[in-house]
Amino acid sequence: MTVELPFFVYGTLRPGERNHDLFLAGRTTRERPATLHGALLYEGPGYPYAVDDPAGSGRVAGTVVTAAPEEYAALLRTLDGLEEYIAPGHPRNLYERVAREVVPADGPAAHAWVYVAAPGIARALAGSGVPIPSGDWSAHTRGPA
């Protein structure tokens, strides 16, 4: 059985991004800004990838999303499908769903599901990917103010 953790979203599922209203609107009880420490953010083909940072100093900006209890199971299946997550370590995964500690802006650290780049993709990004130094996808896509 899967533990019912909130989700940490850092790309197109963040509030104001293109997939938020399509997949999350009306299905959550709480959404709050948060940071994932120990990860780096890379550009993908229209969406980002979070990758574990071996140095441990990277940070990714995002949002902790708490699913409405009656929506949790369906939302988990929906997000797993969107993120092309099949099962832990599956060779066709685009992302791995892992439990990580995140730090909400308004409270103590908590565990949440995070979709990080699958191992093969993470290796390719570390070798030749385009990093997002700010760790903030939304700011990156908006560009300079």
Q: Which is catalytic among the residues 4, 31, 83, 84?
A: 83
Phi first, then psi, for residue 84 (nearest 5°) are 55, 45
Q: Report the distance separating Cα 62 and Cα 13, nearest Å.
A: 9
Strands (E), the chain: 7-9, 28-37, 39-43, 48-52, 59-67, 95-104, 110-117
**Is residue 114 a contact partner of residue 102, using CB atoms and an 8 Å limit?**
yes
83 is catalytic: yes
Q: Give the active site residues.
A: 83
